[in-house]
Amino acid sequence: QTISIREAMMIGGAGRRSGAILLLDASGRLSGIFTDSDLARLLQHRQETSLDEPIEQFMTEQPVCIADDERLPRAIEILSDRKISELPVVNADRQPVGMIDITDLVATGDVRQATSSNQVTAKSNQDDSSGEDGPRCIPISSGD
pLDDT tens sequence for the chain (144 residues): 589 998 888 876 555 566 899 999 999 999 999 998 999 999 998 988 899 999 999 999 989 999 999 998 999 999 999 999 999 999 999 999 999 988 877 766 655 555 544 433 444 444 333 344 567 777 776 454
Query: Does a structural domain hold residue 127?
Result: yes
What counts of helices (H) and strands (E) characterise the chain?
5, 7
In whole angstroms, give the CA distance from residue 144 to residue 128: 27
Query: Does a structural domain hold residue 144?
Result: no
CATH number at residue 72: 3.10.580.10
Query: Does a structural domain hold residue 13?
Result: yes
Give the domain range for residue 129.
Answer: 5-139
Query: Does a structural domain hold residue 31?
Result: yes
Query: Does a structural domain hold residue 134?
Result: yes
Number of structural domains the chain divides into: 1
Q: What is the pLDDT of residue 18?
A: 66
Q: List strand residue ranges (DSSP E) for the chain, in order.
A: 20-24, 30-35, 60-61, 66-67, 86-90, 96-101, 136-139
Contact 66, 78 (CB under 8 A): yes
Q: What is the pLDDT of residue 38?
A: 92
CA distances from 135 to 44, 48, 52, 86, 113 (A): 25, 25, 22, 10, 25
Query: Does a structural domain hold residue 62?
Result: yes
Which residues pair with residue 88 across a beta bridge?
A: 99
